[in-house]
Amino acid sequence: MLINLQQQPADALLALIKLHNADPRADKIDLGVGVYRTGEGETPVFAAIKGAEKKLVEEQDSKAYLGPEGDMAFVAALMPYVFGKDSPDMGKRIEGMQTPGGTGSLRLALALAKRSGIDRVIVGVPSWPNHAQICADLGLGVVEFNHARADGKTDMDALRAALAGAGEKDAVLLHGCCHNPTGIDYSHAEWDEIAGLIAEKKVLPILDLAYQGLGNGMEEDAYGVRRVLVAVPEALVCYSCDKNFGLYRDRVGALYVMMPSESDLPRVMSNAHALARANWSQPPDHGGAAVRLVLEDPTLTAQWLAELDQMRDRMREVRAKLAAAGKVGAVDMTPFGGQNGLFSIVPLSKEQVLEMREKHGIYMAGSGRINVAGLTMGNIDNFIDAVAQVTA
């Protein structure tokens, strides 16, 4: 039977990695892979994580199974950062479980939504490619709306129209902050309106918070999630520690469920646990345990937050440099300064993206998405010059 399977296309970003690695040019620039890089081009392990891992090696006394919910102390330690330390719903209307990264959280959230009766998911485009891919694999319909306008602002009219046409079996999937791939986030005023629209239409919000702390700060980046949760009776929040703790390959995430009352949670979580058991049995422990130790130790917590500040400041420096360049060839780089997180989209055609790669050794996704952390003060002028040349 396996002979009947059809060849699937290679992942475009993974193919891009191979092309970049094979390029012998010393001045090549990798803007494709979605990981943070320092000004020296490195993706280091956080010092706070190193400290936690040292403690873990010295103190962990068992590798026995934890169960499908994973490390619940890790799940609890994250909650004040996600929902606010004064949230009245933590431990009452909100419960969570550990997942294998943000992808595992999203997969579980969407599977749980489908099991509950959801038929369609409203998604702004462009979006992270795995959003649509997971929906398709689960047999969920996707209703698309334009996330952003050509001027670099959010397209609130498109979102209003999408929600106006929503029904009782619809969910809406929104990026909590640092939108991937555009970097264009909703303002606080827009989140206030969005929360009201979701509550009015009674659609299920699925909130993807994969980059908290990389936009404007831990508290600021949680505004949209918290604002929606205040307005609705139930919601799913998908969380990733892969970016803000630098734990990409360790796959550390969490799924949080909010219900109208505490008594509703055991029934819902029993379904989430059953789905997790059928998918991955239980999540990997090491990374989640390291995050827990960071958050339980005030010294390590302060070190982690300081490292996060440094990452955010460096990306702000890059964005400011791009914005200061203004009009570069046919591209206005000014809006990049007001965007957030790792990603932005440079409005280039596929032909121009190819020219950037072949003539200038600059590697980016075919959509024009760039990882701004791939730019440094040493190579950013080359990037700006290349954009000017290919769009002249």
Alpha-carbon span 175 to 164, nearest angstrom: 19
Annotated catalytic residue: which of 128, 185, 285, 321? 128
CB 48 within 8 A of CB 307: yes
Phi, psi (degrees; rounded to nearest 5) at 238: -100, 125
Q: Which pairs from 7-12 meet CB under 8 Å and 24+ separation?
A: 12/365, 12/366
Q: Is 208 assigned a catalytic role?
A: yes
Alpha-carbon span 352 to 72, nearest angstrom: 48
CB 184 within 8 A of CB 221: no
CB 65 within 8 A of CB 274: no
Inter-CA distances, 287 with 277, 283, 323, Å: 19, 10, 36
Alpha-carbon span 98 to 79, nearest angstrom: 12
Annotated catalytic residue: which of 242, 243, 285, 304? 243
**Residue 148 per-residue DSSP state:** B
Distance between start and end Cα atoms, the chain: 53
Is residue 349 classed as helix, strand or coil in its secondary structure? coil
Alpha-carbon span 178 to 340, nearest angstrom: 5
Q: Is 201 assigned a catalytic role?
A: no
Annotated catalytic residue: which of 208, 221, 250, 285? 208
Alpha-carbon span 73 to 289, nearest angstrom: 9
Our measurement of the distance from residue 44's CA atom to the centroid of its chain's CA atoms, rounded to an integer in Å, reads 19
- If we measure between CA atoms, which residue out of 257, 256, 251 comes closest to residue 289? 251
Q: Is 63 assigned a catalytic role?
A: no
Whether the bond into 126 is cis, omega within 30 of 0 = yes
CB 383 within 8 A of CB 375: yes
Alpha-carbon span 81 to 83, nearest angstrom: 6
Query: Residue 242: what residue type?
Result: D
Neighbours of 242 (CB within 10 A): 22
Is residue 107 classed as helix, strand or coil in its secondary structure? helix
Provide the annotated active-site residues: 128, 208, 243
